[in-house]
């Protein structure tokens, strides 16, 4: 009995961790934190850096908010969350400036702007302020991972479309290498605009549309399946009725 209960708890924790990946993905489902998702996803490298920073800030702020949730007066909870979040953002800013200066230069103004990322404030308000510390930590980490995943997907497409490279400036060995079957120089087909401002909007819009399309296909399939089930059941019921009538007729005869 105790074991099943424990397992259930484990399961729910796993669900808590993974819900941010697809079902409640902060960028693609809830459209939270779109500013950094548009601005720093020119390359996979920068997206990865931004995602890691957000994971750190989100987990930290969730833990602290959850720790002191009982002492925060309801009326001033949002300013207190903002102070907690901006403390972590300051820590992250100073750390990147000291140990990852190239990343600090690339993300620039978007490091202090993590403070106003709606994702972090949203998680503090809707989850961390109501749940226990370890749950809040798992939630923050999972949501951060979902955010990182979304940024990397966007960054991958943008870097590929704008430079022809897969990630970190690495090209597929397709062009002018002896022995390769297809000779496509992906650099030739690159479109600069995707690495700059317009590409961010276009790529996120197209990705959202494709995800919607897949979701609609899935829903239609489910709907058809349901319709078929209903038909089947109706048919079975009809069959049974007929059989019963036949039996009755047989008994009479």
User: What does the binding site for other proteins look like in residue numbers (CB under 8 A)?
Assistant: 31, 34-36, 38-39, 78-79, 82-83, 86-87, 89-90, 93-94, 108-109, 112-113, 115-118, 121, 193, 196-202, 204-206, 208-210, 212-213, 216
Q: Which is nearer to other proteins, 7 or 91 (CB)?
A: 91
- Report yes or no: 124 and 85 within 8 Å, Cβ to Cβ: yes
Q: In the complex, what is the shortest distance from the CB of residue 37 to other proteins, in angstroms, rounded to a whole number? A: 9
Cα distances from 242 to residues 14, 106, 233, 234, in angstroms, run 50, 75, 14, 12
Q: What are phi and psi of 216, to 5 degrees?
A: -65, -40
Q: Which is nearer to other proteins, 12 or 90 (CB)?
A: 90
Give dist(CA 196, CA 135) in Å, integer. 39
Give dist(CA 182, CA 170) in Å, integer. 18
What is the maximum alpha-carbon separation in the chain?
97
Q: In the complex, what is the shortest distance from the CB of residue 215 to other proteins, in angstroms, rounded to a whole number? A: 8
Q: Which is nearer to other proteins, 7 or 193 (CB)?
A: 193
Q: In the complex, what is the shortest distance from the CB of residue 17 to other proteins, in angstroms, rounded to a whole number? A: 26
Cα distances from 88 to residues 13, 14, 79, 199, in angstroms, run 25, 26, 14, 31
Q: In the complex, what is the shortest distance from the CB of residue 31 to other proteins, in angstroms, rounded to a whole number? A: 6
Instruction: Provide the CA 250 distance to its chain's centre, in angstroms.
Output: 64
Q: In the complex, what is the shortest distance from the CB of residue 199 to other proteins, in angstroms, rounded to a whole number? A: 7
As to burial, measured by CB atoms within 10 angstroms (0-12 exposed, 13-18 middle, 19+ buried), residue 204 is buried
- Report yes or no: 50 and 107 within 8 Å, Cβ to Cβ: yes
Please list, in sequence order, all residues whose beta carbon lies within 8 angstroms of the beta carbon of residue 191, skipping any fewer than 6 positions away. Answer: 161, 162, 199
Q: In the complex, what is the shortest distance from the CB of residue 7 to other proteins, in angstroms, rounded to a whole number? A: 39
């Amino acid at each position: 009995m105790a074991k099943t209960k424990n397992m259930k708890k484990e399961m729910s924790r796993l669900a808590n961790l993974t819900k941010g990946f697809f079902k409640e993905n902060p960028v693609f489902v809830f459209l939270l934190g779109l500013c950094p998702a548009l601005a720093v996803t020119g390359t996979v490298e920068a997206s990865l850096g931004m995602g890691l920073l957000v994971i750190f800030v989100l987990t930290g702020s969730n833990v602290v908010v959850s720790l002191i949730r009982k002492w925060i007066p309801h009326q001033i909870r949002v300013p207190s969350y903002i102070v907690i979040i901006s403390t972590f953002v300051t820590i992250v800013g100073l750390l990147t400036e000291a140990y990852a200066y190239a990343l600090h230069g690339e993300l620039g103004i978007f490091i202090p702007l993590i403070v106003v990322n709606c994702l972090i404030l949203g998680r503090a308000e809707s989850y961390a302020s109501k749940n226990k510390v370890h749950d809040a930590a798992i939630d923050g980490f999972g949501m951060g991972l979902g955010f990182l995943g979304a940024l990397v997907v966007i960054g991958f497409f943008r870097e590929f479309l704008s430079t022809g490279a897969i990630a970190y400036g690495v090209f597929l060995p397709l062009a002018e290498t002896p022995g390769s079957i297809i000779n496509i120089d992906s650099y030739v087909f690159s479109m600069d605009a995707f690495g700059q401002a317009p590409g961010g909007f276009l790529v996120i819009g197209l990705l959202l549309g494709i995800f919607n399309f897949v979701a609609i296909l899935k829903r239609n399939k489910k709907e058809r399946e349901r319709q078929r089930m209903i038909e089947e059941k109706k048919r079975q019921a009809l069959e049974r009725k007929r059989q019963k009538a036949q039996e009755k007729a047989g008994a009479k005869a």
